[in-house]
Chains A and B, each alone.
Chain A
Amino acid sequence: MEETELIALAQAGDKQALAKLVKNYEQTIYNFAFKICRDKNKAEHIMQETFFSMVKSLYQFDGNSKLSTWLYRIVSNHCLMLARKFKNRSFVSLDDEDGLYEEKYAADWNTIPYKSTENEELKVILDEAIEKLSPEYRMVFLLRDVEGLSTEETAQATELSVPAVKSRLHRARAFLRNELNQAFQK
């Protein structure tokens, strides 16, 4: 059954159609929430809240955007709400854009012995690097580069302007690349 049909049925109160929609997106939403908060318990909590919001407001979904973009917007909001509860955490400032493009380390990425993302040591490096970014930057990088949304869809999901998405994306990307470069040099 097409997604539009499932949505129409779910909007009309069909619980089986709603369950199917949830099942179609639960893996994506859980994975995305984990990538933002890097914690499996928090990811599960955010996933539950996201689908609870979806169930509550599905009748408002007008089909003007993809359901996935709409869900990314909801999950992004829940991630931000959770992050705001931990306000005392400080994140790196990316205001010095020139500094981001200065090459301070000379790591040779070709000789990295643990290139597989199944490698626990690499996972730690990836977690530590992205955790330094504020959730606002993380969100843009993950939606645009990792989840593959377009710049416009990322702007919709984050309620940012397209130029703001581009600016955050480039800074986040450069920062993460530099963090990895530094870690690989060790």
Chain B
Amino acid sequence: MKEDKVTCKDVMQHICESLREDLNSERCIAIKKHLDECSGCQNYVQTVELTIDYYRKYNVKLPKESHDRLMKFLDLEDSD
């Protein structure tokens, strides 16, 4: 699992990909310019990033008993 923080480039890539545009296309450059100047859109992008970040950080640890049951289920032994 990648824990890397989402970068502005990632966000732009996503926006442009969804529009089937290349990062350097005219439309994408125009979007970037708009984003640089529009606080509403900046806020929207930031909150989408935060949403993704919350879900990334919400993890559950495999309980030892579940691991033991899995190995038994598969008829495998722990080697270490």
Contact = CB atoms under 8 A, between A and B. Distances in A.
Given A30-B66, A177-B51, A22 B58 contact: no
B79 A16 contact: yes
A51 B67 CA distance: 12
Contacts of A166: 17-18
B25 interface: no
Contact of B60 (A31, A146, A176, A177): A31
Nearest to B10: A145
A18 B58 CA distance: 29
B37 interface: no
A66 interface: no
A142 interface: yes
B79 A176 contact: no
- Residue picked from B51, B63, B71, most chain A C-beta under 10 Å: B51
Interface in B1-39: 1-2, 4, 14, 17-18, 20
A26 B54 contact: no
Contacts of B2: 147-148
Contacts, number: 105
Interface in A18-41: 18-20, 22-23, 26-28, 30-31, 34-35, 40
A31 B76 contact: no
Contacts of A22: 70-71, 74, 76
A174 B62 contact: no
B70 A47 contact: yes
Interface in B42-80: 44, 46-48, 50-52, 54-63, 66-67, 69-71, 73-74, 76-79
Nearest to B18: A170
Nearest to B1: A147
B76 A44 contact: no
Contacts of A126: 54-55, 58
A173 B73 contact: no
A84 interface: no
A35 B1 CA distance: 13
B60 A117 contact: no
7 contacts: A23-B67, A23-B78, A51-B70, A109-B46, A147-B1, A170-B14, A177-B48
| 8 A-B pairs with the lowest CB-CB distances in the bound complex, closest first | A148-B2, A117-B57, A19-B76, A30-B62, A177-B51, A117-B58, A145-B52, A34-B60
Interface of B: 1-2, 4, 14, 17-18, 20, 40, 44, 46-48, 50-52, 54-63, 66-67, 69-71, 73-74, 76-79
